[in-house]
Structure 1
């Protein structure tokens, strides 16, 4: 049984409002600000905390899903799902343009950021769903397109007692004009096992 329920776009709160938002039917169109990003120190030596994230509560035992569509043209164009405790403890996962190809990846940050990527050239211009499921001291992140099965993206630590929020995010570190179409934002029950496919 599908226990997910939709989160209205007006029911969540922006961290760093984007350049523009608009409604197209049930979808939310988000235009990222030029230079927006989330990153802390590693490899690049700078801290960025001005990307755009629309966040709702993410308690233990729950899952959040975000579905989106975008054309990524510039290096580091990105969109997906963010999980946030504070400015130095967060996770972002989704699709990001790197070396001219869309990549599925995640950045996990606890004081300093790391970054993992896997190329998904066939996902270009397709709907993508990212799901984060919180159980115990961990978050399991998966992603898929409507035509593909779930892929494991990351198993990352998140303290069981941490007060976290989660929701759709996008950034455009190198240009203005990136627009992302978010088509669904849902919450529900956490997955019951690490290697079990989520409901739906």
Structure 2
């Protein structure tokens, strides 16, 4: 398959954001205060009101999303959401936590987990996330600007499970987070892990 850009009008919101508008081919999304995606672990609560623009996602395909955002408040976040159901999903991207941007992923299979690594040098720069669906796995990679992509995580995923994927953002602790999504693409998956 060749790379093709997904039109912003092609997806459907899991929860509509406060505002979204297309401008010069980009999508500007303003998150609602209190929006998030999380299930139970440690905090004990369930949040299922993230702003994710999703479309059906085929096997042996990769989804890429590029964005910039001015992260300022605890848990401001943006990236890619992959969803099978409200109890089975993966979000990956940049999340502002403990005073710095963190690159990470949350894998939810009934309950959520969380892994992060600080990337303070990524603040206010263009981030590209890429998730490849290969055999029984999701391979998550990320890069900033034109740097080489780095491996974020390998996630087990049932090869026959119907999935949807696309850009997402959340703002659990404040109002006013606006994410500028530059592109949403479907393309060939990674040829391998290494």
Classify the TM-score, shorter chain: over 0.9
How many residues matched? 194
Residue 63 of structure 2 aligns to a residue whose secondary structure is strand
How far residue 126 of structure 1 moved from its aligned partner, in angstroms, is: 0.3
Aligned-residue RMSD, C-alpha: 0.9
How far residue 22 of structure 1 moved from its aligned partner, in angstroms, is: 1.4
Unaligned runs of 5+ in 1: 196-200
Aligned to 1:3: 2
Structure 2 distance, partners of 1:141, 1:4, is 18
- Corresponding position: 1:85 with 2:84: yes
What per-residue deviation string (whole Å, max 9, x for no partner) do you get for residues 7-26 of structure 1? 00001111101010112211
Unaligned runs of 5+ in 2: none
What per-residue deviation string (whole Å, max 9, x for no partner) do you get for residues 26-54 of structure 1? 10000000100000000100000001100
What per-residue deviation string (whole Å, max 9, x for no partner) do you get for residues 123-168 of structure 1? 0000000000001111000000123110101100111110000000
1:132-171 aligned within 5 A: 132-171=131-170
Aligned to 1:198: none
Structure 1 segments, 4+ long, off by >4 Å, are: none
Residue 56 of structure 1 aligns to a residue whose secondary structure is strand
Normalised TM-score (structure 2): 0.98
Residue 187 of structure 2 aligns to a residue whose secondary structure is strand
How far residue 108 of structure 1 moved from its aligned partner, in angstroms, is: 0.4
Structure 2 distance, partners of 1:89, 1:59, is 17
Normalised TM-score (structure 1): 0.95
Structure 2 distance, partners of 1:22, 1:147, is 26
1:10-49 aligned within 5 A: 10-49=9-48
